[in-house]
Amino acid sequence: MDRLNGKVAVITGGAGGIGRAAGALFAAEGASVLLVDLDETALKDAVRSIGSNRVSYLVGDVTRAADNEAMFACAAERYGGVDIFLANAGVEGDVKPISEYDEARFDQVIAVNVKGVFLGLKSAFGALKARGGGSIVITSSVAGVKGAAGVAPYVTSKHAVIGMMRSAALEGAPHNIRVNTVNPSPVETRMMRSLEAGFSPDDAEAARARMAASIPLQRYGTPDEIARVMLFLASDDAAWVTGSVYMADGGNTT
């Protein structure tokens, strides 16, 4: 239980299901963890539920360059530096056809899911270089490798961060900075409750059943199952892994 012993991790989207699970797992494996999100109440609850004195939080907006700089400065001040960056913050947007999609909503999805990752990478590179390298894990999705009707902005954003990851992996390699994506299929989180309601407003449970049935393992994943893939990529066990797309999808893209 010490695969991240002495490491420091910054996790955006830290109050959400996957971010919270990753924070708990990383702390259990020996890391000091800074959870970053917009909702302070949810962040406090996440820290309290994890129950480790190695976990703290910072309120921040990933779409703002200053907030990205602040999260790495905060981690350095509290814990001495940063070794791991989990770029996990994301929004799902609406479920609507392209012809009806609101432009401002499109801009929000791209701002959080793409620009937020870009700004995080900009700040992370300097912090990880100062430590002699490290690991960056970006949360993409099965929507990053295939299409889905009704959620074009989300699909676009998750494709985009895979391309960004590949460029960042090449730029990071000379500095011993590894960059990879984890691509979940449906996971038991708030985001999926929102999407289920969007796909089937009159019967969200029916949408859930259809999506679960489309997965070869016949169920949604759990946040902890995704966090364990992230743990591998964050740890020295993945020292020879960079530029990779890791599907954590129950066989959904097989």
Catalytic residue ranges: 154
Only one residue has tokens 């000379």, namely 174
Tokens representing 251 are: 């066989």
Render the chain in DSSP notation, one character per residue: --TTTT-EEEEETTTSHHHHHHHHHHHHTT-EEEEEES-HHHHHHHHHHHT-TTEEEEE--TT-HHHHHHHHHHHHHHHS--SEEEE----------GGG--HHHHHHHHIIIIIHHHHHHHHHHHHHHHTT-EEEEEE--GGGTS--TT-HHHHHHHHHHHHHHHHHHHHHGGGTEEEEEEEE-SBSSHHHHHHHHHH-TT-HHHHHHHHHHTSTTSS-B-HHHHHHHHHHHHSGGGTT--S-EEEESTTTT-
Order of strands, edge to edge, in the sheet holding 177-184?
Answer: 55-59, 32-37, 8-12, 84-87, 134-139, 177-184, 245-248
Cβ atoms of residues 35 and 55 within 8 Å:
yes
